[in-house]
Amino acid sequence: MTTERNNLAESSCAVMREVRVNLWQLVLLYIAIQKSFIKPIFVYLFSNIYHYFWAESYQM
Give the per-residue pLDDT at 22: 78
Q: How far is CA 36 from CA 44, 48, 56, in A?
A: 13, 19, 31
Give the per-residue pLDDT at 58: 62
| Residues of the chain falling short of pLDDT 50 | none
Give the per-residue pLDDT at 20: 73
The Cα 5–Cα 40 span in angstroms is: 51
